[in-house]
Structure 1
Amino acid sequence: MTHPDPVTERLAALTDWRGDTLRRVRALIHGALPDVQETVKWAKPTSPGVPVWEHGGGLCTGETYARTVKLTFHRGASLPDPAGLFNASLDGKVRRAIDLHEGDTLDGAAFGDLIRAAAAANAGVNAARKRR
């Protein structure tokens, strides 16, 4: 018997708007980067864990709270955001986040650009490490 992957299982457990939102985010990420890797990290008895998308390093996480889906970008502070999607964790020196609430609409094209920029940032960091 084949079991669904951990991200599919995690999203299936979210039967409200938060699950719908994360499923859409997941589809946008795969549309922007078809070879993206995904997993669930930080699972423990008191938490089912957090979906994490990676491409040459961490891109973003998809945390769920009672009234918010938080998409935290690992290197968000260094990414261009001309559409102004980042609306949370704006004072951080490294991370930036997008907080989505029930009924919010995420600009798919701008989000795809942000995902590709995050992957490019990881590629740049990895290339710099190889040159050392």
Structure 2
Amino acid sequence: MRKNQVRQILMSMTLMSLAVFMNLRMKKTTVRGKTRRRAPRFKQYYRDHDLRFPKFSLGLEFPTMIECIEAIQYYANSCVRLLKFVKNEPGRLRVKCNGKAEKRHCPWVLYASHVGKSLTVRVKTILGE
């Protein structure tokens, strides 16, 4: 096989695996008897990709509270930031920066809670960087 053929095969395999991955992540809805797929409304947290360098944003959804806490701890280590869990209850979580910025108190705050009665946890408030 030539190099071009190998590249084309690898490219097609990569595109197929990406399509399969996106299909697994899309939600199915039924409208008038027809099944449709739609992308999730809020940004999803994927542990395999986002754990080492988590980026928090408003509306970010975690599958469980344990993964949310784990991502916050990794974020604290990567940013060298002292974080304090102010409210650490089964249904909600509030985290504040316990360190000090240059001349004033660090303003970073994150609040996350369950979405309805599901296990999904969504970031509701984030202040600071």
TM-score of the two chains, using structure 2 as the length reference: 0.32
Higher Cα radius of gyration: 2
Q: Point out which structure has higher relative CO (alpha carbons under 8 A, 6+ apart).
A: 1
Judging by fraction of residues, say which structure has more helix: 1
Judging by fraction of residues, say which structure has more strand: 2
